[in-house]
Amino acid sequence: MPKDLYNVLGVERSASQDEIKSAFRKLAHKYHPDKAGGDEQKFKEINAAYQVLGDAQKRAQYDQFGSAAFENGGQGGFGGFGAQGMNFDFGDLGDLGDLFGSMFGGGRSAGRRTHRGQDIEVDVTIDFKDMAFGVERAIDLHKLEVCKTCKGSGSKTGKTRGCGTCGGSGVERVARRTPLGMMQSTATCGACHGSGTTPEEACGTCSGTGVHKQPSHIEVTIPAGIDEGQVLRVRGKGQAAPYGGPSGDLYIRLFVKRHRTLERDGELIRSRVRIGFTQAALGDTIDVQTVDGTVELTVPSGTQSGDELRLRGKGIRFSSKPGDHIITVFVETPRKLSRKQKKLLEDLDHRI
Ligand SMILES: [Zn+2]
Ligand SMILES: [Zn+2]
């Protein structure tokens, strides 16, 4: 189980961005590995947590999807943001920023950094019935895809050569003077965008980026019982990344159309039906509308207003165990009675 990021920073879920930042600074100072009593593992954990919670947008994603939103790229934890995860936004952290820069840049994380493609978010509205049964939906987007002409290499001839700017490492090193002395930090090479190679001749279709916008048809299975506002994540179906990074993800936010007579209640579907006074007393078979069409329902004799009748398996079709459809019965008491009807009821009342 991944650790709860709020626990890692020791803040409440309701903490403000300022409180999160301040908790992070305190802990980062305390556990910095260069300090006596530092703890590198802990320090990294704190950092990873702050990368998410310190960014309002990522924090919102985390709140909604948990750490699942960030599982990608095989690092466990926060690889989902790929190279971005390493692009610390030091902002006003001052010297602490330099320490991080040296640690993550010039220090241990040698090698190339590829950029991940951007995520795409789309809204999809489904019918109540599709919500109850689950549905296959096709989503058509115009998005960045790997270039078919060069198969993503960006090279017209298919050949590449080592990047002259970074010598093929994909990173450029920059030395900076800091209060702690000279620190080396690194940045993704601007010439080859971290790939370490440049095309011999740029592909005409994608201008050497390896991606270009094209129509994309994506089939998605929407499971039964989705809730309004719930988000499905389709891995790797976001924007393709230029220069060979992993694709982003597609997030589908679902909306469910209201039904005229049916309502959802967890795995149940609920509706109401009005029956006459006599039907309630004597019992009857009536037609009721379900998500699966019209069904006959037996109203037992002696049914009271407010009684609930159950149609088994006519609720939300969760594969594990379909829910039921509950029908609340309302008995209509006659408002106008003829003289004869009144007499009959009075006689009836005396006999019961
Ligand atoms: Zn191309
Ligand atoms: Zn380069």
Q: What is the Å distance from ligand 1's center to 212 Cα?
A: 8
334 is in an annotated binding site: no
Question: What is the pLDDT at residue 148?
Answer: 92
Is residue 30 in a domain?
A: yes
Q: What is the Å distance from ligand 2's center to 74 Cα?
A: 24
Is residue 79 in a domain?
A: yes
Query: For residue 103, which phi and psi values (nearest 5 degrees)?
Result: -70, -45
Query: Which residue, 89, 109, 129, sits at the end of a domain?
Result: 109
Tally of domains in the chain: 2
Q: What is the Å distance from ligand 1's center to 245 Cα?
A: 15
Is residue 246 in a domain?
A: no
Is residue 297 in a domain?
A: yes
Is residue 144 in a domain?
A: no
The residues, ordered by sequence, that sit 6+ positions from 46 with a Cβ below 8 Å of its Cβ are 8, 9, 24, 27, 28, 31
Question: What is the pLDDT at residue 270?
Answer: 98
By the 8 A CB rule, do 244 and 195 touch? yes
By the 8 A CB rule, do 251 and 233 touch? yes
Q: What is the Å distance from ligand 2's center to 179 Cα?
A: 30
Q: What is the Å distance from ligand 2's center to 270 Cα?
A: 62
238, two tokens: 């976001």
Question: What is the pLDDT at residue 177?
Answer: 80
Domain CATH number, residue 295: 2.60.260.20
Starting from the CA of residue 197, give the closest ligand.
2
Question: What is the pLDDT at residue 69?
Answer: 62
Helix residue spans in 205-338 (DSSP H): 277-282
Q: ∠ at Cα 259 (257, 260), nearest 5°?
A: 135
203 is in an annotated binding site: yes
Give burial (CB, 10 Å; 0-12/13-18/19+) of 132: buried
Question: What is the pLDDT at residue 81?
Answer: 35
Sheet holding 120-126, edge to edge: 120-126, 250-256, 231-234
Amino acid present at 36? A
Q: What is the Å distance from ligand 1's center to 1 Cα?
A: 41
Is residue 153 in a domain?
A: no
Q: Which domain holds residue 316?
A: 263-351
The residues, ordered by sequence, that sit 6+ positions from 328 with a Cβ below 8 Å of its Cβ are 270, 271, 272, 273, 306, 307, 308
Q: What is the Å distance from ligand 2's center to 162 Cα?
A: 8
233: alpha, beta or left? (left if phi > 0; alpha if psi -120 to 50): beta
Query: Which residue, 54, 81, 109, sits at the end of a domain?
Result: 109
CA 348 to chain centre: 62
Q: Per DSSP, which regions of the chain are E strands? A: 120-126, 135-146, 160-162, 171-178, 181-188, 197-199, 211-222, 231-234, 250-256, 263-265, 268-276, 284-290, 293-299, 308-311, 325-332
Q: What is the Å distance from ligand 1's center to 247 Cα?
A: 16
Starting from the CA of residue 214, give the closest ligand.
1
Rounded CA gap, 165 and 171, in Å?
A: 9
Query: Which residue, 76, 92, 109, sits at the end of a domain?
Result: 109
pLDDT tens for each residue of 248-271: 999 999 999 999 999 999 999 999
Domain CATH number, residue 92: 1.10.287.110
192 is in an annotated binding site: yes
Low-confidence ranges of the chain (pLDDT < 50): 72-111
Question: What is the pLDDT at residue 132?
Answer: 96
Question: What is the pLDDT at residue 214?
Answer: 94
Is residue 324 in a domain?
A: yes
Is residue 120 in a domain?
A: no
